[in-house]
Amino acid sequence: MRENVIHLSTKEMPRQYYNILPDLPSPLQPPLNPQTKEPVSPEDLLAIFPMELIEQEMSPQRFIDIPEEILEIYSLSRPTPLYRAYRLEELLGTPAKIYYKYEGVNPAGSHKTNTAIAQAYYNKRAGIKRITTETGAGQWGSALSIATQHFGLKLQVFMVKVSFHQKPYRKTLMQMHGAEVVPSPSNLTQSGRAILEQEPDSPGSLGIAISEAIELAVQDRETNYSLGSVLNHVMLHQTIIGQEAKKQLEKVGDYPDIIIASAGGGSNFAGLSFPFIYDKLRGDKKDLRVIAIEPASCPTLTKGKYLYDLGDVAGYTPLIKMFTLGHSFVPPSIHAGGLRYHGMAPTVSKLYDEKVIEAQSFHQIEVFDAARDFLKAEGILPAPESAHAIKGAISEALKCKETGEAKTILFNLSGHGFLDLGAYESYINNKLEDYQLPEETILHYLADLPDIQ
């Protein structure tokens, strides 16, 4: 029998996170206070984040030890398996070798627990009693609810109202883990009440939910706020994925020519790719190609601009230098909810601006076609977000078929799709849409942004 799966033992799990900040081709520009336009100080951030995470956010240290308590909880589901997709290669008739790292075996079914566990741990150590957060379809909220339960913290989740009613299963999962879940906009905050007054039937949005969660955290000393992507410390925690993948490929004497992952806020992409980009930036692997895949209906890297913008609608977050479609842009309702964010992590944005990485976008229906081919070959139902990476990998593998090159492709299967069956139901009933996003729409939202270079 051929080896379809490459495992690592618990003992082989990486003991440090990899911080890409000291290795970036040029330094990141600092986040700015939206009122004063001055750089945000660590003290400003203490109202909502614990000091150890703020330090990680700005750390010049290349490797940061993972505390024993975090490793112990990781070991419930990590190291995650690396698969060689022999059957997908055969289905495509490609000479390429395709590998995928499977993060769907983590509790809640995605990579998001990698940072949720770390964030809950550092908040607990800082004496925090409660965490607030936002969630769209519920992937981040459910990951964080598992983490906060492990560390005995309370969790208040603001769940975008449409999802609260349309996607009840992740809400139930969060409640099983002891979280308090309310539909956003809610009556719990001033920003929520202001919106409800104007628009009692508001369906909510991630931007509104973030504003509500931050507002509550700012008001209470024992409450902090937690974000599931975008920030430097979130990218940092996710690098456990790529470090494991590197060790697993070493076991079979391989190294990727092309790395592919979907990009919403950028964390699963960063998690898989940054430890390999480290080799590229050092000059050891100059030809390595790294590709971020995004939906054509939320094309942050491929169509957005590299500017200072806000992370939320109400303006509670700092101004962040990133690729953005504009903070008031509301992406079409594609099923890959985790990819519907207007901005992109500053680190990923910097690498794209410096042309260290590439980006491609695909439409919803071709992405679901790719998910179906993958399911047929490999037997795993992917999350719609992860299916974007599959589409990207298939597209590169088919190019290899044309040129006859046996390239090694590695992609991140960031999660499973068992709680996305509603989306697959629409797909098999031919009810999916390919949204076209006119250039004027994008320019319209970008026109509002402050002009800071």
Ligand X SMILES: *Cc1c(COP(=O)(O)O)cnc(C)c1O
Give the residues lining the site for ligand X (CB under 6 A).
110, 112, 139, 229, 262-269, 338-339, 383, 385-386, 414-415
Least CB distance from residue 287 to ligand X, whole Å? 25
Least CB distance from residue 179 to ligand X, whole Å? 17
In angstroms, the Cα distances linking 321 to 221, 301, 325, 372 are: 29, 13, 12, 37
Contacts of 151 (CB under 8 A, 6+ apart): 120, 121, 123, 124
Between residues 115 and 148, which has the closer beta carbon with respect to ligand X? 115
3-state secondary structure of 361: strand
Cβ of 447: how many Cβ atoms within 10 Å? 8
Stated length of the chain: 453
Least CB distance from residue 361 to ligand X, whole Å? 14
Between residues 213 and 383, which has the closer beta carbon with respect to ligand X? 383
Listing DSSP states for 174-192 in one string gives HHHTT-EEEEES-SSSHHH
**What strands lie across the sheet with 5-6, from one edge to the other?**
5-6, 82-84, 97-102, 408-413, 258-262, 289-295, 358-362
Between residues 189 and 411, which has the closer beta carbon with respect to ligand X? 411
Least CB distance from residue 140 to ligand X, whole Å? 6
Shortest CA distance to 40 belongs to which of 26, 54, 20?
A: 54
In terms of DSSP H, where are the helices of 98-138? Answer: 113-125
For residue 185, cis peptide bond before it (omega within 30 degrees of 0): yes
Between residues 144 and 214, which has the closer beta carbon with respect to ligand X? 144
Between residues 31 and 192, which has the closer beta carbon with respect to ligand X? 31
Least CB distance from residue 239 to ligand X, whole Å? 13
Least CB distance from residue 292 to ligand X, whole Å? 9
Between residues 188 and 245, which has the closer beta carbon with respect to ligand X? 245
Cβ of 338: how many Cβ atoms within 10 Å? 27
Least CB distance from residue 221 to ligand X, whole Å? 29
- Strands 408-413 and 97-102, bridge-based pairing: parallel
For residue 168, cis peptide bond before it (omega within 30 degrees of 0): no
Least CB distance from residue 263 to ligand X, whole Å? 5
Contacts of 434 (CB under 8 A, 6+ apart): 296, 363, 364, 365
Between residues 160 and 400, which has the closer beta carbon with respect to ligand X? 160
Q: Which residue is nearest to ligand X (CB)?
A: 415
In angstroms, the Cα distances linking 45 to 31, 50, 148, 171 are: 11, 8, 21, 29
Least CB distance from residue 268 to ligand X, whole Å? 3
Between residues 117 and 195, which has the closer beta carbon with respect to ligand X? 117
Between residues 203 and 417, which has the closer beta carbon with respect to ligand X? 417
CA distance 50 to 58: 13
Backbone angles phi, psi at 310, to 5 degrees: -80, 155
Between residues 223 and 360, which has the closer beta carbon with respect to ligand X? 360
Least CB distance from residue 157 to ligand X, whole Å? 15
- 314 residue type, one letter: A
End-to-end CA distance of the chain, in Å? 57
